[in-house]
């Protein structure tokens, strides 16, 4: 019988605008081994591929994007319902990845979400929902965003239901344990325990049985399967012994009951789930804080000056909004009138409020202080900086660290292996355990099923990633994915761009020297520079910041030298020394000495003069950011080599490097040379981070092991970078590296304890110590240990929050 041919997949292309582009894409697809055939259609702006394996689509999309072209896809983070363990997460992920048109699917068990990227021309989100429902789970696709109250209510109802079930199960289990351990001779003891344990097992624990049945129908197994098997065996065996005690008496044995084991196991597992859910809620506190920053309503100013309160989702670009004292800014915008200090700490991590005046940007989620101002809406909805931050944090928290792939493989086979182990345990006891071999084997089997828990394995990595990424976001460090968080701890070299990264990225007056300083002369210089279009003129205007207006006549811009103009009947000049020499203007030695000293520091010197003599000199430079030197010192203390790359001339580069404390730098470097330099460092065995802010840094950022963009730089740099520093403060980089080390350490600790717990716990549960010292683990203790394992892993991840 011939094999059915694979279904072709159509990839909508972006940016393929010529035959040459189509040829490049075609050659790129030739390199993808998982694609058996392909065709690029320029007219239809699409590529048609025939996949040989499941990962073919993801490989093809990556190949096209690596070439600099795009593929139209939709990325969504969707809540997943009814997952109970890591095996569930693996099942959901596998079924989604098997759907034609799904590029990637990553399930985050800790957050109960799936981050899925798919082709909109191949399938809809409803198709994903049906696929997940087919294996007993569900997707909450009615929520358009995590702010949706219906989802929050659903999660809160689930949590409260779990809390009630836990309290009831414990309340009913306590008397069962007391009777089972201390009052077995009580009249009708077995019947009383049966009555008390039945609601615990069959009512409060019914979800375990329902979920296990769903899994069995789809030939799968998860933690619910283990719980349902163990408790049903203990409960069923106890019911049989209560109803038919003579069966064992006729064989010279006593039929023990294990109602307390069945009910306590359910109670402990419910308690563990409750504590786990509570702790998992804390791991996502950062995203909840970010979501809570956006107000639900905003005051809109109408054209007639009247105000109206509207929902934030109704705001449109260009509308004028009013920020009252103490209110949160609703959308990204530009101040049109008024001024106030605004607290941007939750976005940038900077604690000091920033003064916002006319024509300055404000961002959604920042908090207005005591003043009030009006601002024009520039970016609304999903376009705001806050929305982008929330989306990046969600995607990062849902991404997988490389180590998680190994854990997923183990989780996929964990439950079947445990069930097989429990059956082998029962068989060994039955054949080798003597007269009590059956009952002891039954209890050992139950104990193995109870103690084995894939939850701790499933929670080990994602909880640490969620807390680490969330903590970074709170400090103004946006981490795009888990892999960069894991790789950052291995960094040996950090390469820094100069302009906008180490320095402010704009010229500013650093020094001034006047022969005779006067308010009138400063007013003259200020008004003269106001008329100039030279980039350095803005620096002088900002530095002087005068308010008096003086008319300027006969203004003339002199190319390559400066400018001149007539103010108050006198001609004044502003520019370089050549301008003064050309017009025969005298200069004093004091001014010359200052000019020479500043020039040696790689500063640009500007002369101010009247038609007779020079009056003042000003030094202009791109100043080093306040935290740059300290950040570089911290990196060097961590044993990391720091390089500076710049397109500037040698003298300027040397001056900045010396001021910043950098010993290794390269000047006159072109964008492609930056990438080549990083590649050379990597070939020498270095793990390299590139830090930049401009379009010219994007190639080097893409080449680096870890790419870091400064938040006030270009959008392209931030798109390419895996980590973004919102405040552009370099001291955040050593913080990010320390956070990476703390997070990876927590992941390793979690995985160690999760593996050790199962490696030690399962053999003890099976009775390996019985021949040595007669010890048999009670199923009740196994249930408590199982619950504790998950809670301890989540609690260990939460420690990252409190680390410095």
Q: What is the pLDDT of residue 172?
A: 93
Q: What is the pLDDT of residue 696?
A: 61
* Number of other residues whose CB lies within 10 A of the CB of residue 527: 21
Q: Cβ(128)–Cβ(102) under 8 Å?
A: yes
Could you tell me whether strands 570-575 and 562-567 are parallel, antiparallel, or unpaired per DSSP bridges? antiparallel
Q: What is the pLDDT of residue 283?
A: 54
| Nearest of 11, 362, 426 to residue 234 by alpha carbon | 426
The full DSSP string for 493-556 is EEEEEIIIIIEEEEEEEEEEEESS--HHHHHHHHHHHHT---HHHHHHHHHH--------EEEE
pTM for this model (two decimals) = 0.65
Q: Name the active-site residue from 59, 343, 408, 497.
A: 497
Give the 3-state DSSP-derived string for 128-169, with helices as H, strands as E and coil as C: HHHHHHCCCCEECCCCCCCCCHHHHHHHHHHHHHHHHHHHHH
Instruction: For residue 220, give every residue at least 6 positions away whose Cβ sits within 8 Å of its Cβ, in sequence order, or none.
Output: 87, 91, 135, 136
* Number of other residues whose CB lies within 10 A of the CB of residue 251: 10
The full DSSP string for 7-34 is PPEEEEEES--SHHHHHHHHHHHHT-TT
> Rounded distance, CA 264 to CA 377, Å?
58
Q: What is the pLDDT of residues 389-418, one digit of tens each?
A: 777 666 665 666 666 667 767 766 777 888
Q: Which residues pair with 108 in a beta bridge?
A: 113
Q: What is the pLDDT of residue 750?
A: 86
Q: Which tokens in the block code for residue 429? A: 């006891």
> Rounded distance, CA 174 to CA 200, Å?
11
3-class DSSP state of 300: strand
Q: What is the pLDDT of residue 761?
A: 84
| Nearest of 134, 131, 127, 83 to residue 109 by alpha carbon | 83
3-class DSSP state of 372: strand
The end-to-end CA distance of the chain, in Å, is 64
Q: Cα torsion at 544, 545, 546, 552 (round to 10°)?
A: 80
> Rounded distance, CA 419 to CA 86, Å?
16
3-class DSSP state of 561: coil
| Nearest of 746, 667, 705, 707 to residue 460 by alpha carbon | 746
Q: Cβ(777)–Cβ(447) under 8 Å?
A: yes
Q: Cβ(620)–Cβ(576) under 8 Å?
A: no
Q: What is the pLDDT of residues 559-616, one digit of tens each?
A: 778 889 999 989 999 988 888 888 899 989 999 999 888 888 778 889 999 988 999 9
Tokens 């990438």 belong to 675
> Rounded distance, CA 712 to CA 723, Å?
13
Q: What is the pLDDT of residue 335?
A: 93
- Cα 355 to Cα 352, 369, 386, 544, 589: the distances in Å are 10, 10, 19, 18, 41
- Residues of the chain with confidence (pLDDT) below 70: 1-6, 85-86, 110, 142-152, 248, 250-255, 276, 279-291, 345-352, 392-405, 408, 411-412, 453-455, 458, 694-698, 712-720, 780, 783, 787
The DSSP secondary-structure symbol of 695 reads G
Known catalytic residue: 719?
no
Q: Which tokens in the block code for residue 581? A: 């020499």
- Cα 67 to Cα 18, 25, 47, 675, 715: the distances in Å are 14, 7, 14, 16, 19
- Cα 310 to Cα 256, 282, 319, 386, 715: the distances in Å are 69, 32, 12, 19, 30
Q: Which tokens in the block code for residue 660? A: 């910043």
């Amino acid at each position: 019988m011939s094999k059915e041919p694979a279904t072709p997949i159509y990839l909508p292309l972006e940016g393929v605008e010529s035959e040459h582009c189509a040829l490049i894409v075609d050659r790129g697809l030739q390199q993808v081994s998982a694609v058996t055939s392909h065709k690029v259609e320029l007219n239809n702006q699409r590529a048609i591929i025939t996949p040989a394996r499941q990962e073919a689509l993801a490989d093809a999309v990556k190949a096209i994007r690596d070439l600099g072209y795009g593929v139209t896809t939709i990325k969504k983070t969707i809540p997943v319902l009814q997952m109970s363990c890591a095996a569930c997460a693996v099942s959901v992920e596998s079924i989604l990845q098997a759907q034609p048109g799904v590029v990637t699917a990553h399930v985050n068990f800790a957050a109960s979400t799936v981050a899925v990227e798919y082709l909109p021309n191949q399938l809809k989100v409803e198709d994903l929902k049906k696929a997940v429902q087919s294996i007993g789970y569900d997707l909450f696709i009615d929520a358009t965003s995590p702010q949706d109250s219906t989802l929050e209510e659903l999660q809160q109802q689930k949590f409260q239901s779990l809390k009630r079930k836990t309290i009831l199960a414990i309340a009913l289990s306590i008397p069962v344990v007391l009777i089972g351990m201390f009052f077995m001779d009580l009249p009708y003891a077995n019947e009383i325990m049966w009555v008390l344990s039945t609601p615990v097992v069959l009512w409060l624990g019914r979800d375990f049985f329902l979920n296990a049945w769903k899994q069995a129908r789809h030939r799968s197994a998860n933690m619910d399967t283990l719980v349902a098997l163990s408790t049903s065996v203990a409960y069923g065996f106890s019911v049989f012994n209560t109803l038919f005690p003579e069966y064992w008496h006729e064989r010279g044995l006593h039929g023990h009951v294990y109602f307390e084991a069945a009910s306590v196991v359910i109670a402990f597992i419910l308690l563990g789930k409750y504590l786990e859910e509570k702790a998992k809620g804390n791991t996502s506190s950062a995203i909840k804080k970010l979501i809570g920053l956006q107000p639900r309503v905003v005051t809109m100013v109408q054209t007639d000056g009247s105000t109206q309160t509207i929902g934030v989702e109704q705001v449109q670009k260009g509308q004028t909004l009013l920020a009252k004292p103490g209110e949160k800014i609703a959308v990204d915008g530009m101040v049109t009138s008024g001024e106030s200090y605004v607290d941007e700490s939750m976005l940038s991590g900077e604690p000091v409020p920033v003064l916002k005046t006319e024509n300055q940007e404000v961002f959604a989620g920042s908090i207005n202080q005591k003043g009030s101002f009006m601002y024009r809406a520039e970016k609304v909805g999903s376009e705001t900086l806050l929305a982008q931050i929330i989306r990046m944090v969600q995607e990062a928290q849902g991404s997988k660290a490389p180590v998680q792939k190994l854990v997923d493989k183990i989780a996929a086979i964990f439950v079947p292996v445990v069930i097989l182990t429990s059956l082998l345990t029962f068989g060994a006891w039955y054949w080798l355990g003597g007269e009590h071999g059956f009952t002891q084997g039954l209890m050992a089997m139950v104990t193995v099923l109870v103690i084995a828990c894939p939850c701790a394995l499933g929670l080990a990595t994602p909880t640490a990633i969620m807390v680490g990424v969330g903590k970074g976001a709170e400090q103004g460090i946006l981490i795009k994915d888990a892999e960069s968080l894991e790789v950052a701890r291995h960094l040996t070299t950090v390469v820094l761009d100069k302009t906008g990264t180490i320095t402010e990225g704009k010229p500013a007056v650093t020094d001034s020297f006047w022969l005779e300083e006067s308010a009138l002369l400063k007013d003259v210089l200020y008004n003269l520079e106001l008329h100039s279009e030279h980039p350095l003129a803005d620096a002088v205007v900002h530095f002087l910041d005068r308010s008096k207006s003086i008319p300027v006549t006969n203004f003339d811009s002199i190319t390559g030298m400066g400018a001149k103009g007539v103010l108050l009947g006198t001609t004044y000049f502003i520019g370089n020394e050549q301008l003064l020499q050309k017009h025969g203007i005298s200069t004093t030695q004091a001014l010359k000495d200052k000019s020479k000293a500043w020039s040696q520091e790689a500063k640009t010197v500007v002369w101010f003069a009247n038609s007779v003599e020079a009056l003042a000199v000003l030094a202009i430079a791109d100043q080093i950011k306040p935290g740059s030197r300290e950040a570089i010192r911290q990196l060097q203390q961590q044993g990391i080599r720091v390089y500076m790359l710049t397109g500037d001339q040698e003298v300027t580069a040397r001056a900045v490097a010396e001021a910043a404390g950098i010993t290794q730098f390269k000047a006159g470097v072109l964008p492609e040379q930056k990438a080549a330099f990083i590649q050379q460092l990597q070939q020498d065995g270095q793990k390299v981070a590139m830090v930049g802010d401009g379009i010219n840094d994007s190639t080097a950022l893409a080449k680096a092991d870890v790419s870091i963009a400064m938040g006030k730089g270009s959008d392209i740099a931030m798109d390419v970078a895996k980590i973004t520093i919102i405040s552009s403060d370099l001291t955040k980089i050593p913080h990010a590296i320390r956070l990476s080390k703390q997070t990876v350490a927590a992941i390793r600790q979690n995985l160690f304890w999760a593996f050790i717990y199962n490696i030690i716990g399962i053999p003890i549960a099976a009775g390996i110590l019985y021949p040595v010292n007669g010890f048999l683990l009670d199923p009740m203790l196994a249930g408590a240990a199982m619950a504790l394992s998950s809670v301890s892993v989540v609690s260990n991840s939460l420690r990252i929050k409190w680390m410095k």
